[in-house]
Structure 1
Amino acid sequence: MSRKPVHLAVYDTLADWETGFAAAHLARGGYEVRTVGASADRPVTSIGGLRIVPDLALDSVRPEDSSLLILPGADLWDAGDDLAPFARTARAFLAAGTPVAAICGATAGLAREGLLDDRDHTSAVSFYLAATGYGGGPRYVETDAVTDGLLVTAGPTEPVAFAREILRLLGVYEGEVLDAWYRLFHDSDAQAYAVLEKAAAR
């Protein structure tokens, strides 16, 4: 069965480590991962100095053509309004019934857009989001990652939990296989590998 691609937003200062687990295992699970920038012809540079040429421009991405929009953290989320168009795109995705996953600074972008006011969510710390002036404080959850309907959120130190929620949401892994995947990559539990190997052989 043909799957719609996953769209991964890329912009200057994006945090390299935050989406690697998700992107790699989505690709292994049969999803094409396409990068989306403000412009398709302007390379961006990550915090780690990686130079990325986006596959697509943001204004050409439509929710109905996507399985998921992933928004990584970046210094730019807190340095002005340069990334506000990505938060507005997240609003359009959610309104159309297409999932969105945001981690670290991207959660602040969604807070400023009003997308966390009525959804359970998490981030780096509660006062980080409170500084945006958003109205969702009572819905903040102190945990590694949160899924509320079609929205996944996580803090910057939880790339594996972030990926876990995405993989669950899209049905890449489920049940004991998802649990084993998390235990292997988060806890270095060698016993979990056997569960994954058995599942792969089926």
Structure 2
Amino acid sequence: MTENTLRTVHVAVYDTLADWEIGFVTAHVNSPAWHRTPGRFAIRTVGATDAPVTTMGGLRVLPDLTLDALTPADSAMLILPGNELFATEAYHPYLAKAREFRAAGVPVAAICGATGGLALAGLLDDHEHTSNAAEFLNGLGYGGAHLYRDEPAVNDRGLITGAAQAPIEFARAIFAELGIYEPGVLDSWYKLYGRQDPAGFYELMSA
């Protein structure tokens, strides 16, 4: 891969998608402003079908492609936003794709309800992880409770999990895994957005 090769980050879309949980991710992955290599990444949405979906915020999203057309080799990461479908049959195709990605060694990131889906699919049984609360996952009867970490976001060997209340930390973990920003730039990014410190803005501008 050359330095200017465009890599794609795929965001799963489905009805009840929690818009606010991935806003920082999509805006900054898709923007070359502070990337280590400008234009290196782009966002594409993927759905179970090509029909429009409606987010929790009422936005209608038309998927760029369908799950059956997506292969791990074509993706830098699969992101699963929070949702209200994670425990239903409608979510199974997304979990199957997440399992395929992990088997191929491609990162997967899940937040909020999507972590519940991963738990039900057994994908958290052998990885350190987090979620909205330990009680949330324990109530699903999964086998990974001993690996739960009470942190905003956790990355264990390319499996990223985040709490609903921590979209900024979730984004930071994704950026670090993808190598989008130099470490010092990522620190400044978090200083601005995570700590609301305006000094981070000026650091970013100088970077």
> Which bin holds the TM-score, normalised by the shorter protein?
over 0.9
Q: Establish whether residue 190 from structure 1 lines up as the match of residue 190 from structure 2.
A: no
> Which residue identity does 2:70 align to in structure 1?
V
1:116 aligned to which of 114, 124, 127: 124
Superposition RMSD in Å = 0.9
CA–CA separation in structure 1 for the residues paired with 2:165 and 2:26: 17
Among 11, 24, 42, which residue is 2:27 paired with? Answer: 24
Give 1:176 deviation, angstroms: 2.0
**In 2, Cα distance between equivalents of 1:179 and 1:122:** 22
Q: Which runs of 5+ in 2 are unaligned?
A: 33-38
Indicate yes or no: 2:56 matched with 1:53.
no
The aligned residue for residue 75 of structure 2 is 66
Superposition TM-score, scaled by structure 2 size: 0.93
Picking from 115, 134, 151, the partner of 1:126 is: 134
Give the superposition deviation at 1:115.
0.6
Please report how far the alpha carbon of residue 183 of structure 1 lies from its aligned counterpart in structure 2 after TM superposition: 1.5
Residue 171 of structure 1, CA deviation: 0.6
Q: Kindly provide the amino acid, as one letter, of the partner of residue 95 in structure 1.
A: A
Q: Superposed, which structure 2 residues align to 1:25-174 within 5 Å?
A: 25-29=28-32, 30=39, 31-40=41-50, 42-78=51-87, 80-174=88-182
Structure 1, gaps ≥5 residues long: none
Q: Could you say what secondary structure the match of 1:77 adopts?
A: coil
Percent of matched pairs sharing the same residue: 50
Report the CA distance between 1:174 and its aligned residue. 3.1
Contact 1:183/1:192, CA 8 A, preserved across alignment: yes
Report the residue type matching 1:23 in the other structure. T
Kindly provide the CA deviation profile for residues 24-77 of structure 1, in whole angstroms up to 9, marking residues without a partner as x.
11111431100001111x100001100001010111100000000000011111
CA displacement, residues 116-168 of structure 1 (integer Å, 9 cap, x when unaligned): 00100000000111111111001000011000011110011111000000001
CA distance in 2, matches of 1:46, 1:89: 20
- Are 1:3 and 1:67, in contact at CA under 8 Å, matched by a contact in 2? no
Q: Distance in 2 between matches of 1:26 and 1:55?
A: 16
The alignment covers a number of residue pairs equal to 197
